[in-house]
Amino acid sequence: MSSPEYVQFESGNIGPADASKSPRFAGIATFARLPRYEDVGHADIAVTGVPFDSGVSYRPGARFGPAHVREASRLLRPYNPEADISPFAEAQVVDAGDISVNPFSIAEAVTDIERAADELRAGGTRVVAIGGDHTLALPMLRSVNKTHGPVAVVHFDAHLDTWDTYFGAPMTHGTPFRRASEEGLIDMEASLHVGIRGPLYGKDDLRDDERLGFAIISTHEIEVEGVQAAVERMHRRIGDRPVYLSIDIDVLDPAHAPGTGTPEAGGMTSRELIRMLRSFSSTRIVGADVVEVSPPYDHAQLTAVAGSHVAYEVICAMATQRS
């Protein structure tokens, strides 16, 4: 068994295994069949898995998300015609494997994730984390903050994730953005949630959320005003600030992404989400995550295909920018 033949671009970057030379269904899965970090030794952008779901409040399983997304990402191709970019030629993109996270202690796992993100980011590499549950956004933001200060968080999700505690636990998948706001990690003039919908605990959730520094573009608003109007409003708020993109796959309707822990009816289509993500190509993205893919509730890789394409679009938007 030989190792796959990677594409060598004129830019010097090493791309994915060549699907015309080694079948895309063969070999150990890396994201988009990219080389592993250790095969290249440096990276502009690193995809890393965070197999952690001890922060979920309902259905578990997202710990298996990274492996599932990698499997479904085998079919991604190296040229994105809509964005007119070959992301893996423009930037050296690698799969950095999974972060070793403690499944029995959320506090330790959060420390593990922050430390691993710090190490990956040390040489200027930008990290795209594949979850895992949404708890991981907190340590990712803590890491990014050390370089960039408070960033514009653009958070695609059905849920606010600015709740306070569950059973007294401060770090869960429903609370990362409240903690991040309290710690001064977010730019309170420029952060927003996109795709919010579904029942809340009460009106105070919205009052708290606003006080914590978030604006909301709801799924309802996207439906009534249209995707383009939502994109324009989003970018008016972000301006030219550094952006951290956090994408909970449950922002999609359960018809597009059934494999997730806390599904809510009436969500966006994957087409709408991809269109919104493409608008970030002119934005300085300093880090990103794609979270909450839970394979036990998935069917026919629907959610993993959506997750892998979402991560690919984020990489495309990042690839022409320098950190």
Ligand X SMILES: N=C(N)NCCCC(=O)O
Q: What does 95 bind: ligand X, Zn ion, none (CB cut-off 5 to 8 Å by kind)?
A: none
Rounded least distance, CB 249 to Zn ion, Å: 8
* Euclidean distance between CA atoms 322 and 48, whole angstroms: 19
Question: Is there a binding annotation on residue 159?
Answer: yes
Selected binder of ligand X within 49, 61, 174, 213 (CB under 6 A):
174
Tell me which residue of 177, 87, 79, 161 sits closest to 126, measured CA to CA.
87
Rounded least distance, CB 7 to Zn ion, Å: 35
User: Omega of the bond prior to 132 within 30 degrees of 0, cis?
Assistant: yes
* Euclidean distance between CA atoms 208 and 157, whole angstroms: 17
Q: Does 33 bind Zn ion (CB under 5 A)?
A: no
Q: What does 57 bind: ligand X, Zn ion, none (CB cut-off 5 to 8 Å by kind)?
A: ligand X
* Euclidean distance between CA atoms 301 and 285, whole angstroms: 28
**For the chain, how big is the Rg over CA atoms in Å?**
18
In DSSP terms, which residues pair with 85 in a beta bridge? 80
Q: What does 174 bind: ligand X, Zn ion, none (CB cut-off 5 to 8 Å by kind)?
A: ligand X
Selected binder of Zn ion within 33, 63, 68, 134 (CB under 5 A):
134
Nearer to ligand X, 248 or 298 (CB): 248
Selected binder of ligand X within 25, 41, 58, 226 (CB under 6 A):
58
Selected binder of ligand X within 57, 218, 281, 301 (CB under 6 A):
57
Question: Is there a binding annotation on residue 309?
Answer: no
Six-digit token pair at 320?
Answer: 């022409």
Question: Is there a binding annotation on residue 148?
Answer: no
Q: Show contacts with ligand X in window 232-251 (CB under 6 A).
A: 248, 250
User: Cα 206 to the chain's mean position, in Å?
Assistant: 24
Q: Does 53 bind Zn ion (CB under 5 A)?
A: no
Number of residues near ligand X (by CB under 6 A): 12
Q: Does 59 bind ligand X (CB under 6 A)?
A: no
Q: Show contacts with ligand X in window 243-302 (CB under 6 A).
A: 248, 250, 261-262, 292
Question: Is there a binding annotation on residue 187?
Answer: no
Rounded least distance, CB 180 to ligand X, Å: 13
**If you write DSSP's letter for every residue of 196-225 in order, what string do you get?**
E-S--S-THHHHHHHHTTEEEEEHHHHHHH
Q: Show contacts with Zn ion in window 144-203 (CB under 5 A).
A: 157-159, 161
Six-digit token pair at 88?
Answer: 């893996």
Which phi and psi (to 5°) does residue 313 adopt? -65, -35
E strand residue ranges, the chain: 6-8, 14-17, 45-50, 93-98, 126-131, 152-156, 191-196, 214-218, 243-248, 285-291
Question: Is there a binding annotation on residue 157?
Answer: yes
Question: Is there a binding annotation on residue 155?
Answer: no
Q: Does 134 bind ligand X (CB under 6 A)?
A: yes
Nearer to ligand X, 58 or 79 (CB): 58
CB atoms within 10 A of CB 189: 13
Q: At what angle do helices 65-72 and 302-319 cross, to 10 degrees?
A: 80
* Euclidean distance between CA atoms 185 and 148, whole angstroms: 9
Q: Does 173 bind ligand X (CB under 6 A)?
A: yes
Which phi and psi (to 5°) does residue 85 adopt? -145, 145
Q: What does 298 bind: ligand X, Zn ion, none (CB cut-off 5 to 8 Å by kind)?
A: none
Q: Does 161 bind ligand X (CB under 6 A)?
A: yes
Rounded to a whole number, what is the largest CA-CA distance in the chain? 59
Interacting residues with Zn ion (CB under 5 A): 134, 157-159, 161, 248, 250
Indicate the annotated binding residues for Mn(2+): 134, 157, 159, 161, 248, 250
Binding site for ligand X (CB under 6 A): 57-58, 134, 159, 161, 173-174, 248, 250, 261-262, 292
